[in-house]
Chain A
């Protein structure tokens, strides 16, 4: 599996994490091209359905990156995301999907280095886990 290049989707919030990614760029910090960013206004807007759609659509890993607790532009959107994704992670395990394929973390606007670190670590972790194939679809099993 050494040649495996994972597909990773990162939902990043407009106010902190996207700015953090921007700062990584300004500082010329490399991060893996496997990570594709989707900019959202707040992690509180990231419906668990978006994450499931990403997995179903071929993502091997999904990240949701938001403001540190207490710093949410909308007061507590990131805390709502934390509550939702804690339940979501329990459910992922029931579907036999390794919970490590999902990451919720906080990256502030000034944390370009942290952005580089979490995206690199996530990419390495998913490389180790291998590709995600969601099972139970009729196309592959009933002729």
Chain B
């Protein structure tokens, strides 16, 4: 057994892009594995949950957990990793604030099952069977994890030491975190391992932003040819820059696509609220009708402003009002 620090990667409800970030370290991963021992990484290796259970408490130095908590299995393994790890890093937007899976919080389990297993046009399910946690088949009892009604962020179910948002975090973000951990230079517990300022601060296009932006109406990307130099908001295109944390080096904006907010808000802010405050401040409309016209190209404010952060919204998830 080597005495290198042990590291684990785990994947809950997410697309797998965060695991891709690890692969995208390219040859730098050789430096990383020189310094650490990856002991648990189901995406790339073949460990069993029993291997993890057999480890001592605190034996793993750092666990990077990506993905939101959608099922009982994800909750169980996250709790197990918490027990076995010194430091747990919520890795990627799904773990930090629910990410794309959390958009399902605008629906509930019943609606989702109905759509996925009954109403979807590609389904053949005449008996309307829905997934069950326990099924008896040919004398055997089969089990599936429980599907929760709500998509939770990781720190709703376990204590998280550090946060690294991003969809996905960049390889540079990951490398910085690993290096800081190896050198014992991690900041105070609970910190987000990224700068606490908004994307606009470092965006190149910030210089083209007028002092007092006013827009007559919101435009969809499909209806305009976006100017490749000018601030998106000044062009009437929703850009989440004002409500989003810096740290990604804005590849989207460089590719002439507005920010969609994947790094989440800065400290103590609610991303949706911050964005409404921002957009509301620049729309040039003086009565309710004009405001409705101006924002008519944005029929889904919750999905737009909380695309990656719905589990952390102050408004919770969709409720059924009488």
Residues of chain A having any CB pair with chain B under 8 Å: 47-49, 52-53, 55-56, 69, 79-88, 90-92, 94-98, 129-130, 133-138, 141-142
Contacts and interface: CB of A to CB of B under 8 A. Distances in A.
A96 B302 CA distance: 11
A48 B319 contact: no
A86 B301 CA distance: 11
Contacts of B148: 141-142
Given A136-B317, A138-B152, A138-B157, 19 more contacts: A48-B270, A48-B273, A52-B313, A52-B314, A53-B314, A82-B286, A83-B294, A84-B281, A86-B288, A86-B295, A87-B276, A88-B280, A97-B315, A129-B321, A134-B319, A135-B319, A136-B316, A138-B150, A142-B75
Interface string B278-322: 011101011110011011001011110100000101111111111
Contacts, number: 128
A137 B283 CA distance: 33
A91 B106 CA distance: 11
A94 to B, nearest CB: 4
A137 B312 CA distance: 10
A82 to B, nearest CB: 7
A88 B152 CA distance: 23
A95 B283 contact: no
Contacts of A142: 69, 75, 148, 152, 156-157
Contact of B276 (A53, A84, A137): A84
Nearest to A88: B276
A69 B280 CA distance: 16
10 contacts: A49-B270, A69-B286, A82-B287, A82-B291, A86-B291, A90-B301, A94-B301, A134-B319, A135-B150, A136-B150
Contacts of B283: 83
Contacts of A84: 276-277, 279-281
Given A83-B291, A86-B295, A94 B302 contact: yes
Contact of B302 (A82, A85, A95): A95
A82 B291 CA distance: 8
B274 interface: yes
B149 interface: yes
B269 interface: yes
Contact of A95 (B106, B157, B279): B106
Contacts of A98: 321
Contacts of A94: 106, 300-303, 318
B126 to A, nearest CB: 32
A88 B272 CA distance: 9
B149 A87 contact: no
Contacts of B288: 82, 86
B317 A56 contact: no
B240 to A, nearest CB: 14
A136 B69 CA distance: 12
Among A97, A98, A142, the most chain B Cβ lie within 10 Å of the Cβ of: A142
Contacts of B287: 69, 82
A138 to B, nearest CB: 4
Given A47-B273, A49-B270, A136-B316, A96 B321 contact: yes
Contacts of B105: 136
B321 to A, nearest CB: 5
A94 B294 CA distance: 19
Contact of B321 (A49, A81, A97): A97
Contacts of B106: 94-95
A141 B149 contact: yes
B314 A49 contact: yes
B315 A52 contact: yes
B280 A83 contact: yes
Contacts of B311: 136
A96 B150 CA distance: 14
A139 to B, nearest CB: 9
Given A134-B319, A135-B316, A141-B149, A49 B281 contact: no
Contact of B320 (A81, A96, A136): A96
Interface string B116-157: 000000000000000000000000000000001110100011
Contacts of B157: 138, 142
